[in-house]
Amino acid sequence: MSEPETTPSGAAPVPAAPGAPLVVASGLTKHFRLGSRETLVALDDVSLEIRRGETFGLVGESGSGKSTVSRALLGLLPLDAGSVQFDGLEVTRLKGGELRRLRKRMQMVFQDPFAALNRRQSVAQIVAAPLEAHGIGDRASRAARVEEMLDLVGLGPAYRERRPREMSGGQCQRVAIARALALDPELVVLDESVSALDVSIQAQVLNLLGELQQRLGLTYLFISHDLAVVRYMASTVAVMQRGRIVERGSREQLFRSAEHEYTRQLMSAIPAVDPTVERARRRSARTEAGVSSGG
Q: Which pLDDT belongs to residue 5?
A: 35
Q: Which pLDDT belongs to residue 258?
A: 87
Quick one: which of 118, 119, 192, 185 has its CA closest to 149? Answer: 185
Sequence-distant (≥ 6) Cβ neighbours of residue 1 within 8 angstroms: 154, 155, 156, 159, 171
Task: Determine the Cα–Cα distance for residues 113 and 180; give it in Å rounded to an integer.
Answer: 12
Residue 92 has pLDDT above 90, yes or no: yes
> Mind listing the pLDDT tens digit for each residue in 184-224?
999 999 999 998 888 889 999 999 999 999 999 999 999 99
Q: In the predicted model, what is the mean pLDDT of the chain?
A: 86
Domains of the chain (ranges, CATH numbers): 21-255 (3.40.50.300), 260-295 (no CATH)
Whole-model pTM?
Answer: 0.84
13-17, 65-69, 86-90, 148-152: the lowest-pLDDT one: 13-17
> Mind listing the pLDDT tens digit for each residue in 122-176?
999 999 999 999 999 999 999 999 999 999 999 988 999 999 999 999 999 999 9
Q: Which pLDDT belongs to residue 205?
A: 93
Contacts by 96-102, CB closer than 8 A, 24 or more apart: 99/75, 100/134, 102/75
Residue 263's alpha-carbon distances to 59, 63, 227, 269, 273, in angstroms, are 9, 16, 9, 10, 20
Q: Which pLDDT belongs to residue 294?
A: 41
